[in-house]
Amino acid sequence: MQRERSEALFERARAVQPGGNTRHMVVFGPPMVYGSHGDGCRLTTVDGDVLIDWVNNFSTLIHGYGHRPTVEAVKAQAERMLCCILPSEAEVELSERICARWPGAEQIRFMNSGTEAVMVAVKGARALTGRSKVAKSEGGYHGQYDLVEASFLPTPDNWGPADRPASPAFGRGTPQSLLDQAVIFPFNDLEATLAILEAHAGELAAVVIDPIPARLGFVAADKAYLAGLREFCTKHGIVLIFDEVFCGRAGFTGAQGRLGVTPDMTALGKVIGGGLPIGAVAGTRAAMAVFDNLAGPLKVSHSGTFTANPMSMAAGIAALDALTPEAFAQLERQGDALRAGLQKHFEALGLTMRANGLGSMTSLQLFREPARDYRAFHSRSGPGYLQRIGRLHALMLQEGVLTATRGLMVGSTAMTDDDITETLERSGKALARFAQAERSAA
């Protein structure tokens, strides 16, 4: 790959941005590689290299680049109005589309990111219950809200006993008083989870869970596990929140429709905005009543300068209209083909790896047996995980395949079967070099 222009841009960035970036999750330099333009599933860098994009801005661009209905909707809306203080018709239309799909979405409010959606959902749950504590699964990622960052990427040094996980801070300076409000439970272990939650039942406002967490390589929660959480929350008057900001792309009715368990509130983002900034909290009428300013004293105030901005609403309508059941069927079929092809490469090259996932979501993992929880994922990945997965990322990039730094791959409707074949051909070359490096390091 050529990086002359990227290197020059990176030097300029370092003078005005700490670390030369404004998004830590995209950093795999120095130097960084800078994007110029995209077309379909291809992203061209400022240096002229063309990559097959399997990140799609962390799942946001489910239709790839230059999706004509979305582009035309954005152009038309920009001509009419970028934003204003009044709500727009598009806001109502996108609300109707989302509420028609997600089983737990009877009403909805928009915001500008997935992080904000989780924050607002937690505020709503606290107002509904009059309680303060929030429970989340160990290792779960729910955005950059410091309360739910507790126990994000914990290590054996700080994660505590398996049956009573600790709530270590992710960022320095997080107040202990805030961490004391977090209750951590093990993913996919119903007996241990219920024992922990029962001990805090009278203090819990919400249980927040990603039913198909990206950070665990898209291992879906067992339906029985989610059903157990649903029963527990109903029994104790606790708000069950599904974080579907990422896994909302699991199917036409989202992850909850696919897995068959309905939460009280759902945090959404990414694919519902057509590539523009967006977040949303959807829920049952009873849960969303906490935001209703026409039905008596307001319990939770929520607003924002760019909330439900017309540009994101217009893009979201166009994107969702194109996400038909047939589109999801194509994404699923191609995802299955990608994972099967990668698995053949692993076996042929003697790599102890697996391609995990479902639908359009795939994770390259440095172990063979599936990991059902965070601790299994961490231990099986091994002590040199970050260096090894970083090496694989770099090799894939050199072969023109853009993955996320930890092996995440998500498809788009812009991809053809030929693109899957080409991805597997390019990946095979990268994996062969990775296998050689693994043998040399052994």
- How far is 296 from 311, CA to CA, in rounded Å? 32
Please, what are the domains in the chain? 4-62+324-441 (3.90.1150.10), 68-322 (3.40.640.10)
Q: Which residue has the higher pLDDT, 140 or 22?
A: 140
408-410/35-39 β-pairing: unpaired
DSSP-derived letter for residue 148 is T
Query: Do the beta carbons of residue 119 and residue 300 sit within 8 Å?
Result: no
Q: What is the mean pLDDT of residues 312-324?
A: 98
Q: What is the mean pLDDT of residues 308-335?
A: 98
Binned at pLDDT 50, 70 and 90, residue 29 comes out as low
* Percentage of the residues of the chain whose pLDDT score is greater than 70: 100
pLDDT in tens, 153-202: 999 999 999 999 999 999 899 999 999 999 999 999 999 999 999 999 99
Element (H, E) at 345: helix 325-349
Q: Determine the distance from the C-alpha atom of residue 378 to the mean position of all C-alpha atoms in its chain, rounded to a whole number.
A: 19
pLDDT over threshold 90, residue 31: no
pLDDT in tens, 401-418: 999 999 999 999 999 999
pLDDT in tens, 222-245: 999 999 999 999 999 999 999 999
C-alpha closest to that of 238 among 206, 208, 267 = 206
According to the model, what pLDDT value does residue 22 have? 86
Q: What is the mean pLDDT of residues 22-43?
A: 86
Q: Which residue has the higher pLDDT, 26 or 71?
A: 71
DSSP letters spanning 10-45: HHHHHHHSGGG-S-GGG---SSP--EEEEEBTEEEE
pLDDT over threshold 80, residue 86: yes
Query: Do the beta carbons of residue 62 and residue 56 sit within 8 Å?
Result: yes
pLDDT over threshold 80, residue 442: no
- How far is 344 from 334, CA to CA, in rounded Å? 15
DSSP SS3 for 312: helix
According to the model, what pLDDT value does residue 1 have? 72
Q: What is the pTM of this model?
A: 0.96
